[in-house]
Amino acid sequence: MGLIIKEVNKLNDNKQMVTQIPEPPLSRLLFADTRFAWIWLVARLYVGWIWIEAGLEKVQNPAWAGSSAGVAMKGFIMGAIAKASGEHPAVQDWYAGFLNSVVVPNISVFSYLVAYGELLVGIALILGIFTGIAAFFGGLMNMNFLLAGTVSTNPILFLFELFLILAWRVAGWWGLDRYLLPFLGTPWQPGKAFKAKEDKNN
C-alpha cells in the first residue's frame, strides 16, 4: 500500500500527527489542470443550455411564475405523491411525506424557486460563474426530480454536474471564474480582494 499511496505526515496546529493522501495524477490532470478546461466548457454549455431552456419556459408560464404560480407544480407534486403507494413505489414514503407536509402548503414559493432556480443555474453554468456552486444546485434539483419519480434527462444531468463539482477549480476557466476565483478566493485561501483588505488593515 505504501508503494501505491504516498502519505504526507505533518503536525497540525494542535501538534497532532495527521496523514494527507496526495491527489492521484489522473484526478489532478482532469479536475485541476487548465489544459483540460475545454472538456468542462463543453459539459457546462450542454447542461447550462438545458437548464436555461427549462427555466425560461417556466418563468414565462403563469402556472409556474405568475398569477397562477403553483398550479403546474401542484399537479406534478400530487402525481409524485401518488407514486408512493403500491408494493414497489417509485417514490419513497419519506419523500412523499416531505412533499405533502412542506412543499404542498408552500407550493407557490417552491414554484418560483424551481422556475428561477433553473434559469439562474443555467445562466451561471453558461457564463462559468461560481461553476461548482451552480452545478451543486443543479444536481440538487435533479436529485429532487429523481426522488419524485421523474427520470427523463435527470440522471445524465446529475452525472455531468457531479463531474463539474469535482472540477470546480478549472470548470469555469473558460468563463468568469477564471477571474473571479483568484480575486475572491475560497474560505480556506483568501483571494486578492481579501488579501488587499488585510494588508490595508495592517
Closest CA to 121 of 144, 143, 107, 137: 137
* Per-residue pLDDT, 17: 72
Q: φ, ψ for residue 185 (rounded to 5)? A: 80, -160
Q: Give CA angle at 154 (144, 137), nearest 5°.
A: 55
**Position 87 confidence tier, pLDDT thresholds 50, 70, 90:** confident
Spatial distance between the Cα atoms of 118 and 87, rounded to a whole number of angstroms: 33
> Are 48 and 122 contacting, i.e. CB atoms less than 8 angstroms apart?
yes
* Per-residue pLDDT, 196: 61
- In this predicted model, what pLDDT tens digit does every residue of 98-136 receive, in sequence order? 999 999 999 999 999 999 999 999 999 999 999 999 999
Spatial distance between the Cα atoms of 125 and 51, rounded to a whole number of angstroms: 9
Name the H helices within 60-191: 71-82, 93-98, 107-127, 131-147, 154-166, 168-171, 177-184
DSSP letter for each residue of 124-157: HHHHTSSHHHHHHHHHHHHHHHHHTT--TTHHHH
- pLDDT beyond 60 at 39: yes
Cα torsion angle, 187, 189, 193, 198, sign = positive
Work out the mean pLDDT of the chain and round it to a whole number: 89
- In this predicted model, what pLDDT tens digit does every residue of 14-31 receive, in sequence order? 556 777 788 888 999 999
